[in-house]
Structure 1
Amino acid sequence: MVNSKENETRPRNRRQNTPREKWSERVIQISRVTKVCKGGKKLSFRAVVVIGNENGQVGLGVGKADDVVMAITKAITDARRSIIKIFLTKTKTLPHVITGRFGACEVFIKPASQGTGVIAGSSIRTVLELAGVKNISAKQLGSDNLLNNAHATLTALKNLKNPAIAAAERNLPIERFYS
């Protein structure tokens, strides 16, 4: 028989006791989609969701289901699988100018000085805010499709260089980026 004193000191569920990171999630788009079958049209819903911890991690997910709640749940699960990590400077902006393309959408994102805020439209703004970016200026070119613009923003963020490399290219000390 196991000593009861040992059981009292060991936590029952270690996962439950660990502090969890705070993740925010926002629904960008919910659309009704139909599929033509032999018996008629089948209605379902598509949800596009962005999740982020507002500290340099962000993900995008798409889910389809017969009802809206299940579509959002599937989209959140999909977004958790596609999380990327980005580098932020001490002023909560990006170290250099980046561009991203997805389909007919092109996104141009450039860093801004402290106090500027997030100057961006539609889904680009949502992705950048959930990533934790506070000072940025962005422009979307081409198509205004919400899903493709969100994908283009994530593509641009994946092209982000390490701040040490960006500082070396611009002949600046790394301390200028980080505090």
Structure 2
Amino acid sequence: MLSRLNKEGKASKAGLSTQRALPRTVWAEQGVDKLHRYKIWSRRAVQQTGKGKIDRVATMYIIGDGNGLVGWGQGKHEQSATAAERAFRDGIVSMDRVERFETRTIWHEIRIKFGATEVILRPRPLGFGLKAGPVMHQVCKAAGIKDISGKIMGSRNPMNVVKATCLALWSGQARPGMGDGVGGRGRRLEKGQGVRSRQDIERARGRRLLEL
């Protein structure tokens, strides 16, 4: 049960809010115990009020089902447990579908820039594994991606890396030639190379070509 009971035996407001948020998701009936949750960072935040400074705890979590759904959430509260619960609830609501090729990797190379952070994700063949930074590794693991390589350029702020990686994965259903999936124009990566062999195309895309 997500809601916590106070001394009088009544459910806390944070727990009730979580229960209200669940009907908008598919996990209202399946339960949230099966979801993967990874804490990215947790730090102290100070709120300045007229009565003085109020210490709060800010935390960020990655939420996913390991089968194509992933999201991130943030929470703040005076108590760390309540802040984590709020971040978990926020992550459930923000989960979105990740289009995967053969349920193990992405369809094509994705490049996205969020703030001062630039993330590059590339599809890889079967058995390659997750070759990415620790934060990107947790996002891909929560999304159910098994073969991918990632690179971070610019700022390595964990918050920006999580947001950029999630935006890249959520937009991964855009095929080459139909835009880059993140608001930009599609680029022909093979322009000027002439006719390429089947082996070169398979190596570049990170997967085998099947004859129809």
Greater shift in the superposed pair: 93-102 or 69-78: 93-102
**1:67 match:** 79
Greater shift in the superposed pair: 85-94 or 50-59: 85-94
More strand by share: 1
Shift of residue 121 of structure 1?
0.7
Shift of residue 62 of structure 1?
0.5
Identical residues among aligned pairs (%): 30
Question: What's the CA shift string for 1:57-86, capped at 9, x where partnerless?
Answer: 101001111111111100011011111101
Measured in 1, the distance between the counterparts of 2:101 and 2:172 equals 12
The residue matched to 1:115 in structure 2 has which SS? coil
**2:135 match:** 123
Measured in 1, the distance between the counterparts of 2:31 and 2:126 equals 29
Question: What's the CA shift string for 1:25-75, capped at 9, x where partnerless?
Answer: 111111111123334321101110011111111010011111111111000
One-letter amino acid matched to 1:63:
G
**2:70 match:** 58
Measured in 2, the distance between the counterparts of 1:113 and 1:136 equals 8
Query: TM-score, normalised on structure 2?
Result: 0.66
- Structure 1 residue 105 corresponds to structure 2 residue 78: no
**1:144 match:** 156
Contact 1:101 1:155 in 2 (8 A): no
Measured in 1, the distance between the counterparts of 2:31 and 2:52 equals 46
Q: How many pairs are equivalent?
A: 156
In structure 1, runs of 5+ residues without a counterpart are: 1-17
Contact 1:101 1:156 in 2 (8 A): no
Measured in 2, the distance between the counterparts of 1:102 and 1:112 equals 23
In structure 2, runs of 5+ residues without a counterpart are: 1-28, 179-187, 191-197, 202-207
2:54 to 20, 42, 48: 42
One-letter amino acid matched to 1:128:
C
Measured in 2, the distance between the counterparts of 1:75 and 1:81 equals 10
